[in-house]
Amino acid sequence: MNQNVIKHFQDMRDRGCLAHAYLFVGPKGSGKIETALAVASMLNCQSEDPGESGFCGQCPSCLKIGKGNHPDVMMVERGDEASVKIDQIRELIGRVQLRAFEARCKVFILKDAETLTTEAANALLKTLEEPTKESLLILTSAVKERVLPTIRSRCQAVIFSALPREALMAMMIRDGLPREEASCLAQFSEGCRGRAYELREKGFLKKKNSIIDQFTRGEIAEADLKFLSSDGDEGKEALSILMSWCRDILLLKAGAGDERVVHADRLKDLQQQASHYTDEQLKGILQTIVKTRKMIDENLNVKIPLMLLKEQLWAN
Ligand SMILES: [Zn+2]
């Protein structure tokens, strides 16, 4: 179970920023399903004091989810079949539309989203696009690239790594890296140590700070804007940097400890910016980021949304 993910969902729920559909991506054994169930428990726990983990594990709701017989928590899996079939998706859609039996938030977990038949995937699109109230869809996959782009672009990705961020960070600190650097590299390497050092070699910290400054401190040069809007991968990387930046600000605003922020090398700037933005503004920025990312997936020109993002991010 990935406690960071659960904490993140808790924060987002508390601020009313929960998205409707998520894609949990990570290798087999990285705790995707366990975490999805923990999120379902956290969202529906009836205890007044659920404790650190966000759910008590003992109330009727937690017990039912634990036993797999909660009427509003549904797991869709292919079992021994090669793919998730359209009939399964039709059943899921029917249940999404139904009123909850007892849950505050119905949770639907769809395992191995990369095995959806095209027909099944198409049937699911509308449900991913038009959220119904009080329901959350969590799709899981070992390989993000194998999930159909139309599905991928409608979900917020949550990356699970074989190595949790904290563990990788601790490892890098033991290697002699400053904490601030390890914090950031551990985040953007998706838990992969080799990738973390590769990023370091390539000067990632300097690059990400330049992106943050361009968007939050001043005019982004025309040439840079053009570059970001024409190269999908660079654009996406910039967006994920800005997203983690905004999340750090949200965390600080919510009173989280300094050790939880990703951009630990910029703690002072983060603290200063936390007083600049309202929650509403940050929510708006995150929405623009998600929208822009979708546009990149659809091969659309993102120059204008990137400009808008700059306007939104420009700390007064
Ligand atoms: Zn409970």
**186 inside domain:** no
Domain harbouring 297, CATH code = 1.20.272
Q: Cα(223) to centroid of ligand 1, in Å?
A: 53
Structure confidence by residue, pLDDT tens digits, 144-175: 899 999 999 999 999 887 678 888 899 899 98
Q: Cα(137) to centroid of ligand 1, in Å?
A: 20
Pair of tokens at residue 22? 């998520």
Quote the pLDDT of residue 114: 95
Check if the beta carbon of residue 240 is closer than 8 Å to that of residue 157. no
Check if the beta carbon of residue 155 is closer than 8 Å to that of residue 176. no
Show the domain range for 268.
203-313
Structure confidence by residue, pLDDT tens digits, 56-79: 999 999 999 999 999 999 999 998
Q: Cα(289) to centroid of ligand 1, in Å?
A: 34
DSSP category for residue 98:
S
Domain shared by 54 and 141, yes or no: yes
Characterize the bridge pairing of strands 106-110 and 73-76: parallel
Rg (Cα) of the chain, in Å, rounded? 20
Structure confidence by residue, pLDDT tens digits, 88-99: 999 999 999 999
Q: Cα(30) to centroid of ligand 1, in Å?
A: 24
Structure confidence by residue, pLDDT tens digits, 255-305: 988 888 999 999 999 999 998 899 999 999 999 999 999 999 898 889 888
Domain shared by 138 and 209, yes or no: no
Structure confidence by residue, pLDDT tens digits, 27-50: 766 678 989 999 999 999 999 999
Q: Cα(63) to centroid of ligand 1, in Å?
A: 7
**22 inside domain:** yes
Can you tell me the distance from the alpha carbon of 134 to that of 61, in angstroms, rounded to the nearest whole number?
16
Last residue in a domain, options 98, 125, 159: 159
Domain shared by 215 and 284, yes or no: yes
Q: Cα(60) to centroid of ligand 1, in Å?
A: 7
Domain shared by 155 and 273, yes or no: no
